[in-house]
Amino acid sequence: MSGNRRLVILISGRGSNCLALVDAARRGWLGFEIAAVISDRPGAPGLELAGGAGVDTVVVDASAYSDRGDFESALAVVIEGFAPERIALAGFMRILSAGFLDRFPGQMLNIHPSLLPRFRGLDTHTRVLEAGESEHGASIHLVTPELDAGPVLARARVPVKDEDTPDSLAERVLAVEHRLYPAVMALLSRCLVELRNDVIHLEGKPLARPLELGVDLDDRGHRIRDD
Ligand code: GRF
């Protein structure tokens, strides 16, 4: 990892988390320069949002490759061209192979709309309501080849209300995602966070449980509590 505080963001769609990161960088507190936003889909609305905010955008069109390996090689070359310290997946709708991830060891983060390790995969809001949960939220984890299964660095909780629908719950979770991702990146800009034997180490110490936004971490990524 180069330690150069350059961030590349990968998207496939709407790009609201990407925009939250871009906004925090523009306001000067993200602690990272956004080197580029890369999409695997040419029409991703997030590309226009990022471009409109003055960030370099690149498309590596997955549909142009019949072979997953060829697509991943092309994507890796583009990412490496920006020499990022970290790579943030923000609504990037692809499972990445172990070979691809080996090129970016411990550098890649993802945001997922559930309190991981619960509710991996898709349709989390509907599944949380069906399960009768009283709380829900979002998680940032380091990316490993198994979907949504990498070690969890930080989470943000939201209550589930009796009157919630999947849409109302999605809206509440998304609002907290937009706080969580920039806070975690700001934390990463000033703390040493490494993966050792699949365990997250923060300033050399193994992380016993994910950091909680509003409990362990404030909205600017400062540690509130350190235990
Ligand atoms: C977010 O809910 C994120 O957690 C999930 O995909 C969604 C992306 O939304 N991985 P957006 O593109 O950032 O608006």
The sheet carrying 205-206 orders its strands as: 193-196, 199-202, 205-206
Dist. CA 98–CA 68, nearest whole Å: 12
Tokens of 217: 């971490």
Ligand 1, atom 9, residue with closest C-alpha: 91
Residue 141: active-site member: no
What is residue 226's predicted lDDT score, i.e. its pLDDT? 73
Angle at 80 between CA 186 and CA 16, to 5 degrees: 45
Q: What is the three-class DSSP state of 137?
A: strand
Q: Which amino acid is at 194?
A: E
For ligand 1, is residue 15 a contact (CB within 6 Å)? yes
What is residue 1's predicted lDDT score, i.e. its pLDDT? 53
What is residue 169's predicted lDDT score, i.e. its pLDDT? 98
What is residue 2's predicted lDDT score, i.e. its pLDDT? 55
Compute the distance from residue 17 Cα to the ligand 1 centre, in Å.
6
Question: What phi and psi values does residue 100 have, to the nearest 5 degrees?
Answer: -65, -45
Compute the distance from residue 95 Cα to the ligand 1 centre, in Å.
15
Compute the distance from residue 93 Cα to the ligand 1 centre, in Å.
9
| Among candidate residues 24, 5, 48, 11, the one with its CA nearest the CA of residue 179 | 24
Q: Which of 12, 177, 185 to mutate to test the pocket of ligand 1 (most atoms within 8 A of CB)?
A: 177
Report residue 199 CA to chain centroid gap.
Answer: 18
| Among candidate residues 153, 152, 112, 106, the one with its CA nearest the CA of residue 136 | 112
Question: Which mean pLDDT values do the consecutive 10-residue runs of the chain (227 residues) have?
Answer: 87 98 98 98 97 98 97 98 98 96 96 98 98 98 93 98 98 98 98 92 96 98 86
Find the largest Cα–Cα distance for the chain.
49
Quick one: DSSP state of residue 41?
A: S
